[in-house]
Amino acid sequence: MEKRREIEKKEVPLTALRDGEKGTITSIEVSYGRCLGFEKRLMDLGLIPGTEVIVVKSAPFKGPLEVSVKGSRFALGRGVARRIFVVKNNV
Amino acid sequence: MSKGRLTIALAGNANVGKSVIFNHLTGLHQHIGNWPGKTVERAEGTLHFKGYTIDIIDLPGIYSLSTYSIEELISRKYIVVERPDLVINVVDASVLERNLFLTLQLMELEIPMIIALNQMDIAKKKGINIDVEKLEKLLGVPVIPTIAIKGVGIFKLLEKAIEIIEKGQNARRIRVEYGKEVEERIAKLTKIVEGTQFFYPSRYTAIKLLEGDEEIERMIKKMDPKITEMAKKLANELENIHGHSCSTIMSSERYEVAGCIARQVQSIIPPIEPTIEERFHAITTHKIIGYIIMTFLLLLTFYSIFTFGGYTSNLLSNIFYGWEPIFESIFGKGILGEFVWGGVFEGIIAGTTIALPYIAPFYFILYLLEDSGYISRIAFLMDNIMHKIGLHGKAFIPIILGYGCNVPACLACRIMETERERFLAAFVTTLVPCAARTVIILSLVGQFIGIQWALMLYLFNLLIIFALGRIAFKALPGEPTALIMEMSDYKLPHLSTALKQTWFRVVEFIKIAFPLIILGSITVKLLEIFSLFETITEMLSPITVAWLGLPAIVGITLIFGVLRKELTIIMLATLLGTTNFSKVFTPIQMIVFTLVAMFYIPCIATIAALIKEFGLKKAIFVTVFEIAFAIILGGITLRILNVIIS
């Protein structure tokens, strides 16, 4: 039981979640230098570590993800979503 | 009795009904322009109330007061530097927590403010009930519930605004209390900042320094570099304690407070059935049906703009040209008459009959698409494809519009987020063959060589757009902004706001574009009057004849084409005395001529639109670049075609 939880607690990028799955944000990766801009915008919109994100669906042809956060609906480009790490929540 | 002048600014998230409130307040007394040097719209208006003359400024829609976007920077600077007498923070009751995040930051700017708790009806539909009194008490700021779209609460809002300005606001409002370690460091920093007499409030400055706000950091560094060093050290300490970046910590704690307030004042009983807005959203973003609906709506948009435009354009030009005899009888048929009619008045006609009939319906429809929330759905569907040229999904709109007319298309580029993306989108847009260029392509290549060749030219054009777009994307400094976009609930646009906005934007366009169009028209007329055409064809012949292999006469038609692109073909017919172009042009010449006409310069109205949106320098750059590009491309094509065919 304990071991199973360990596996589920693994951090995955938001893009790994399937439509309808929920996750809690653990961190946002800022790889290109001190690019505060994009990280900042995410946080301004409420995508902060500890917040629950629901992946509603993704647009076709590897398009953006539709996510729901704190009652708002956002479109996140794949490049952005790949940098948001979450822990999958049990439905 | 006049009691003087007041300034009130409206601030809030995008899509919260700010512009509707603005329109209720100001009616027809408004002016829409741009913020100095920026592509961001600035809407101002005046109203008279209780003996005051009140200027209302509608600040751009923002989510935060950081420096992520130009809009945020403009809003923050305006509030701190211009110091309006009061800020009305328009808050969307249906997404309270996220809206309060901005509210808390506005409060940190320590300015008198009240809150318009708008879209109460949408909140109710979502099953959200808000205890207004409690919210007011918790924030220490007056809160007026409003339903702007129905005009509910607007009068009360205004009354409250005046009351606060007259009485002054008592300072018992809450402030965001950050965690203990953070507060200690804010206090430390605030103390030092206080000594500098910086124009932002000290506590705010301290907080922003810890967050690593680039603009404030730069300004403070100029005053005293020791302060920024200190701030960095303190920020590092915090990062070590929390294991997150300092700006993450601050934002989290701010959201914590916003969430805590929201939870205390709202009770939510979510509706069991999805609302009609949600169903619309699901359909319009569906992976198959979504695209069908989008295609249909865009075709409809296109069709209605251009049918309306074509019809009105015809109607207007018939009326105007009916006045020609009147002009002749006043100014005679001599040089003066030619000049007044052909130079000045034809310029006005060109502006009125070409630009206006298309941009008025365009502005209207664009507003509807934007305000209803549909544009964000298009961006969602098209993001992936547009990414290939470094733009995100929203750029699809101006590009599609460009096929009708480049002028509204350039103006539509303001829906992009950053200055860089706007310019990039506008650049790409001016390469799209508009209706006038379609006339050239079809009546020359299409008619005399074959429709498949015309289609080939379109495809070739797409390739060029794609290639130049990519190059420009690589060449322009700055990073691509990835798509991070809210898709707010669909809502019915407010008709009278849409009409008023359309009207004031058209007026603004006339002011900027018309002088230029008339000037261009006068110049061409003067050339004609002083019979300089021959000199010009000779001057241009190294390019037109030697390099492009065309008859010398096309030099003039290309000059006329600057006024309006279809003139290139009309003039060609006039000057050659025939519409059977196959007699005077070889097929290769036709293709080369069409290619040059397609790319060589945006028409004068488009140049005017570029100047309006991006300033003279960038407009000249685009123009010069495209002339050079078209000439080079034309010459190369000629040589390649010659080789292939011979």
Cα separation, B381 vs B366, whole angstroms? 18
In this complex, do A64 and B383 lie within 8 Å of one another by their Cβ atoms?
A: yes
User: What is B402-464 written as a DSSP string?
Assistant: HTT-HHHHHHHGGGSSSHHHHHHHHHHHHTS--HHHHHHIIIIIIHHT-HHHHHHHHHHHHHH
The strand pair at B128-130 and A52-58 is best described as unpaired
A35 in contact with B at a CB cutoff of 8 Å?
Answer: yes
The strand pair at B484-486 and A72-76 is best described as antiparallel
pLDDT value of residue A91: 62
Of A36, A39, A75, the CB nearest to B379: A75
Confidence of residue A68 (pLDDT cuts 50, 70, 90): very high
pLDDT value of residue A1: 44
Q: Which residue of A has its CA nearest to B268?
A: A71
Residues of chain B with C-beta less than 8 angstroms from the C-beta of A41: 63-64, 68-69, 484
Q: Which residue of A has its CA nearest to B251?
A: A43
A54 in contact with B at a CB cutoff of 8 Å?
Answer: no
What is the phi-psi region of residue B37: left when phi exceeds 0, alpha when psi lies from -120 to 50, beta otherwise? left
The minimum CA-CA distance between A45 and chain B, rounded to whole Å, is 7
Beta-bridge partner residues of B8: B56, B86
pLDDT value of residue A33: 44
pLDDT value of residue A84: 93
Instruction: Give the pLDDT confidence of B84-108 residue by residue, as tens digits.
Output: 999 999 999 999 999 999 999 999 9
pLDDT value of residue B470: 86
Distance set, CA B141 to CA B18, B107, B616 (Å)? 19, 9, 44
Cα separation, A24 vs B189, whole angstroms? 33
Chain B positions touching chain A (beta carbons under 8 Å): 63-64, 66, 68-69, 94-95, 97-98, 101, 212, 214, 244-245, 247-248, 251-252, 255, 259, 281, 285, 287, 376, 379-381, 383-385, 387, 392-393, 479, 481-489
Cα separation, B548 vs B602, whole angstroms? 20
Residues of chain B with C-beta less than 8 angstroms from the C-beta of A50: 252
Q: Which domains does chain B have, with CATH numbers?
A: 5-167 (3.40.50.300), 180-268 (1.10.287.1770), 273-646 (no CATH)
Cα separation, B236 vs A21, whole angstroms? 35
Residue B55, helix vs strand vs coil? strand
Residues of chain A with C-beta less than 8 angstroms from the C-beta of B245: 30, 39
The minimum CA-CA distance between A1 and chain B, rounded to whole Å, is 29
In this complex, do A37 and B481 lie within 8 Å of one another by their Cβ atoms?
A: yes
Residue B270, helix vs strand vs coil? coil
Of A35, A45, A49, the CB nearest to B252: A49
Cα separation, B389 vs B282, whole angstroms? 28
Query: What does the block give as tokens for B2?
Result: 């006049």
In this complex, do A77 and B247 lie within 8 Å of one another by their Cβ atoms?
A: no
Cα separation, B499 vs B502, whole angstroms? 5
Of B69, B252, B381, the CB nearest to A59: B381
pLDDT value of residue B629: 94
Helices (H), B109-179: 120-125, 132-139, 154-167
The minimum CA-CA distance between A86 and chain B, rounded to whole Å, is 15
Q: Which domains does chain A have, with CATH numbers?
A: 2-89 (2.30.30.90)
Do the Cβ atoms of B261 and B139 come closer than 8 Å? yes
In this complex, do B66 and A30 lie within 8 Å of one another by their Cβ atoms?
A: no
Cα separation, B150 vs B425, whole angstroms? 36
Of A41, A48, A79, the CB nearest to B68: A41
Of B380, B387, B479, the CB nearest to A35: B479
Please count the other Cβ atoms lying within 10 Å of the Cβ belonging to residue B318. 10
Q: Which is more confidently placed, B465 or A4? A: B465
**Percent of chain A as helix, strand, coil, to the nearest 5:** 25, 35, 40
Distance set, CA B436 to CA B463, B597, B620 (Å)? 20, 10, 22
The minimum CA-CA distance between A53 and chain B, rounded to whole Å, is 14
Instruction: Give the pLDDT confidence of A7-57 residue by residue, as tens digits.
Output: 556 889 999 999 999 999 998 887 544 445 678 888 889 999 999 999 999
H or E segment to which residue B115 belongs: strand B113-118
H or E segment to which residue A24 belongs: strand A22-28
In this complex, do A73 and B487 lie within 8 Å of one another by their Cβ atoms?
A: yes
Biggest CA–CA distance in chain B, Å, is: 88
Residues of chain B with C-beta less than 8 angstroms from the C-beta of A59: 285, 287, 380-381, 383-384
A71 in contact with B at a CB cutoff of 8 Å?
Answer: yes
The minimum CA-CA distance between A65 and chain B, rounded to whole Å, is 8
In this complex, do A66 and B380 lie within 8 Å of one another by their Cβ atoms?
A: yes
Return all residues near B486 (Cβ < 8 A) that are at least 6 apart.
Answer: A45, A72, A73, A74, A75, B14, B15, B63, B376
In this complex, do B95 and A39 lie within 8 Å of one another by their Cβ atoms?
A: no
Average pLDDT of each block of 10 consecutive residues along chain B (646 residues)? Answer: 86 91 89 75 91 94 84 91 94 95 92 94 92 93 94 95 88 77 92 88 92 88 90 92 86 92 92 88 94 91 80 85 83 78 78 76 85 90 83 83 82 81 90 84 85 89 89 76 84 90 84 79 81 84 89 84 78 75 87 91 86 90 93 93 84
